Amino acid sequence: MANNERAIKNDDQYQKSLDWLVEEAKKLEDPLLPEEERVQRMKRYDFVADGVQRYKRGKLVQMFPGTERAYDKLGWAYDVPDAMEESKQPEQPKEPKPMPKPARPPARDFLDDD
């Protein structure tokens, strides 16, 4: 788990990064792009793609507790944003609601002669 000041911190940044990756991929496909520029753009593309993957894994860790153990075992990096770390506390179980009493007498009393 990495904590980087340039890491994606929320869904808005995540979406903007995805949009940037799509646009950058179009530019990288240009056959007239000079090789030096292609190498530099590819480094930035890989950096952002890695950040997107780390953020997505962090969201999955938040949604599915236990996923972090699998990621750690596989050696996969993930970023858990600050808001997610605070919500990592287990939820307190809710007390069950009491069953409501039946509004009318049960049918078994229908045939009783009193």
pLDDT in tens, 48-60: 999 999 999 999 9
Q: CA 58, CA 60: separation in Å to the nearest integer?
A: 5
Average pLDDT over residues 12-32: 94
Of these ranges, 5-14, 39-48, 73-82, 104-113, the one predicted with the greatest mean pLDDT is: 39-48
Q: CA 42, CA 57: separation in Å to the nearest integer?
A: 22
pLDDT in tens, 59-77: 999 888 888 889 889 988 8
The answer to whether the predicted template modeling score (pTM) of the entire model surpasses 0.75 is no
Q: CA 50, CA 70: separation in Å to the nearest integer?
A: 18
Eight-class DSSP state of 111: T
pLDDT in tens, 29-48: 999 999 999 999 999 999 99
pLDDT of residue 44: 95
pLDDT of residue 1: 46
